Amino acid sequence: MKKIDEYQGKKVLVMGFGISGINAAHLLVKLGANVTANDKATPKNNDIVDDLKADGIKVITGDNPISLANEGFDVVVKNPGIPYDNPLVAAFVKQGTPIITEAELGWQIFDGHLVSVTGSNGKTTTTTLTQLMIAENAKHQVKYAGNIGISFSKIAEDLGPDDTLVTELSSFQLLGAPTIHPHIAIITNIFSNHLDYHKTRENYINAKLNITRNQTKDDFLVINWDRDEWQKIAQRSQATIVPFSRLNKSHEGSYVEDGMIYWRGQEVMPTKDIRLIGPQNVENALAAIAAAKLSGVKNDAIKKVLTTFSGVRHRLQYVMEYQERLFYNDSKSTDIEATEVALQGFDRPVILLAGGLDRGYTFERLVPYFKKHVKAMIVFGECKDKMKDAGNQAGVPVIESENAITAVPEAWKLSEPGDVILLSPANASWDQFPSFEVRGDKFIEAVEELTGKKEQ
C-alpha cells in the first residue's frame, strides 16, 4: 500500500454501504479523514453500523438527506450504482465537490502493476483468465478485484510495488476514477448497455474510455478488433494499441487463424483446446492472452489455464450432466447480445430458459439464433410475452412458466438425451430476483433438486 496524505484532516462522505463503500470508509479513517457514511436504506445487519461507529465514523441511514450537501465535505466517495441525478449527488455536482468511486481510492493507494478490464460483456471471465495466467509464472502476488465482487481498495492495501492487481471496472466505477492509470487496459467490447444510467451511447462509450484516459504510449490498450466502431474508438487512446480478434488477423496482437490462436505471428494453442465453450470465450481468451504475453507469461502457463478453467459462476457456467442432458447457468446474460453469443456456443439442441425485467425492447434480433440453435423455450417474467413473440416468429415451441426456478422441471419434460438446458435470460433479474447471482443460484438449486445431484 502506498502512503498518501491527501485525505489527512479532510471531511469525506461515503455514500452507499456495499462492500466497496464499507471498506472505503474504514480505509479513509486510516488515511486520516473525518468520515461520514450514509446509506438510503437501513441495514438489516446492525454489525455493519456498529463496526463503522466503532471506527469513529458518523453513520446516517434511512435517507440521503439533502442537508448533507451543506456540511462542507471535501470529497464524496459514491457507490457506483447511485446515479448522478440522485438529488444529493446532484447537489454535490452543482457545488463542485469532487465525487469519486472506491476504484479511484484503490488506485490512489496502489503501488504495483495494474491491469484493468472493462467492456459490456466478458469482463469477469477476462479478468479471471488474465489473473490466472499472470499468476501461473509469477514470483510475486497476483490478485484480482473490482467489479468482480472484491473491493479494489481492500486488496490494494495488502499489495506492494512488485505485485500485480487485475481489476474489473464497470462504466459506473470509471466515471468516478479520474486519475486511474493501468499499464495494461483491456476493452472486451462495447454494446449499448446501461443507457438508463448514462442516457446516451456516447456517454457510455466515454465512461468506458476513462480506462485509457491517462495512458501514454508506454502503456497498452488491448481492444477487440472485430468491429470497425471499436477500431475507431481505439484511435481516441494515447496508448500503444494491441488488437485481439477472432475474425481479423493482426500480427500486432492475438488472433485466430484456421483454428489456431496466434500471438504476433507465433502459435499459442488450438481454439478447440479451450475448455470454455462459445465464440465469446475465444474472444475473452484472446484478450487475456494479449495481456498475459505483454506481462511476460509463457505459452505453457496460458495453455494450462485455458485447458482447465471451466468458467465463472453465472457466466455460461457448466452445472452438470444428468441422463445425457447438459445444464448451463448463464444468468449473467442480462442483455440480448450476451444470449446471442451464448446460443452460438452450442452444437447441440438447446432448451432455452429466458425472460425477466421488461426494459421496453423486443427480441426480434434473437429470432435467427432461435431458429438455428433452440429446440424449445420456457419464458417467464415481465417480458415473457415479448420473448414468446420472438419464439413464435422463429417457429420454436414456447411455454410459459412463473420464473427461472419453475422453468427447470418444465424444460426437463421437453428434453431428450443430447439436449442442453440453458438459462440465458437476455434480461435483467430485478422483476423477480434481487440480482442475477440470486437468479442463477436458484436455478442451480432447482437443477440439483430435479437431478438429486450437486453441481459439478
Q: Is 3 inside a domain boundary?
A: no
Residue 345's pLDDT is 86
Tell me: the pLDDT tens digits for 181-231?
999 999 999 987 777 888 899 999 999 999 999 999 999 999 999 999 999
Shared-domain flag, residues 114 and 226: yes
Shared-domain flag, residues 256 and 124: yes
pTM exceeding the 0.85 threshold for the entire prediction: no
C-alpha cell at 284: 475473452
Tell me: the pLDDT tens digits for 40-63?
999 888 899 999 999 999 999 999
Shared-domain flag, residues 251 and 379: no
Shared-domain flag, residues 160 and 253: yes
Q: Is 40 inside a domain boundary?
A: yes
Shared-domain flag, residues 118 and 253: yes
Q: Is 5 inside a domain boundary?
A: no
Residue 44's pLDDT is 81
Residue 56's pLDDT is 97
**Low-confidence residues of the chain, pLDDT below 70?**
none
Number of Cβ within a 10 Å radius of residue 196: 9
Give the structural domain span for 72: 11-100
The full DSSP string for 103-171 is HHHHHHH--SEEEEEE-SSSHHHHHHHHHHHHHHH-SS-EEEEETTTB-HHHHHHT--TT-EEEEE--H
Shared-domain flag, residues 94 and 110: no
Shared-domain flag, residues 257 and 115: yes
Q: Is 433 inside a domain boundary?
A: yes
Is beta strand 34-39 parallel, antiparallel or unpaired with respect to 220-224? unpaired
Shared-domain flag, residues 298 and 372: no
Shared-domain flag, residues 253 and 140: yes
Q: Is 72 inside a domain boundary?
A: yes
Domain boundary among 72, 100, 128: 100
Residue 313's pLDDT is 86
Shared-domain flag, residues 288 and 159: yes
SS3 (DSSP) at 321: strand
Residue 14's pLDDT is 98
Q: Is 456 inside a domain boundary?
A: no
C-alpha cell at 429: 433479474
Give the CATH number for residue 75. 3.40.50.720
Q: Is 240 inside a domain boundary?
A: yes
Q: Across 173-284, where does the E strand assignment appear?
A: 184-187, 220-224, 240-245, 254-257, 260-263, 266-270
Give the CATH number for residue 248. 3.40.1190.10
Residue 251's pLDDT is 85
Residue 195's pLDDT is 78
Shared-domain flag, residues 173 and 41: no
The secondary element (H helix, E strand) that includes residue 442 is helix 436-451
What is the spatial distance between Cα 33 and Cα 53, in angstroms, rounded to a whole number? 14
Q: Is 1 inside a domain boundary?
A: no
**AA letter at 185:** A
Is beta strand 75-78 parallel, antiparallel or unpaired with respect to 11-15? parallel
Phi-psi region of 418 (alpha: psi -120 to 50; beta: other; left: phi over 0): left
Structural domains of the chain, count: 3
The full DSSP string for 376-422 is EEEEESTTHHHHHHHHHHHT--EEE-SSTTTHHHHHHHH--TT-EEE
Give the CATH number for residue 343. 3.90.190.20
Tell me: the pLDDT tens digits for 391-439?
999 999 999 999 999 999 999 999 999 999 999 999 999 999 999 999 9
Residue 441's pLDDT is 97
The secondary element (H helix, E strand) that includes residue 317 is strand 317-322
Nearest to 112 by CA among 165, 157, 158, 155: 165
Domain boundary among 52, 73, 100: 100
Shared-domain flag, residues 31 and 124: no
Domain boundary among 308, 343, 362: 308
